[in-house]
Amino acid sequence: MEIEEKLSVLNYKTDKSYAHITVNLDICETCPDRFCTFGCPAKCYTVIDNRLNFKYEDCVECGTCFFACSHGSVKWTNPKGGHGVKYKFG
């Protein structure tokens, strides 16, 4: 099963005006390990044409990328106002 299929069963209340995680792509450009792309269980971090690509909309708010990035690129905050993933089971 692909990640898209697994995430498609989830409910999100996406905050279109606020990205709770931001990434400094200038830092990622020269990153030697890109551990975020192996760590993130929702595959929010992918490499396309050797460039890092990030989408916060699929984030399940685990916090892995925050400590996975040891180069100071990932800035992590909690979504605001009840936005983000909404688990039914947990």
Residues in the site for other proteins, rule: CB under 8 A? 1, 3, 5-7, 9-10, 33, 35, 37-43, 60-64, 66-68, 76-82, 84-90
Q: Compute the distance between CA of residue 61 and CA of residue 81 in angstroms, rounded to an integer.
A: 14
Query: What minimum distance in Å lies between the beta carbon of 29 and other proteins?
Result: 19
User: What stretch of H or E contains 28?
Assistant: helix 25-29
Query: What minimum distance in Å lies between the beta carbon of 60 and other proteins?
Result: 5
Q: Compute the distance between CA of residue 47 and CA of residue 34 in angstroms, rounded to an integer.
A: 9
Query: What minimum distance in Å lies between the beta carbon of 26 and other proteins?
Result: 21
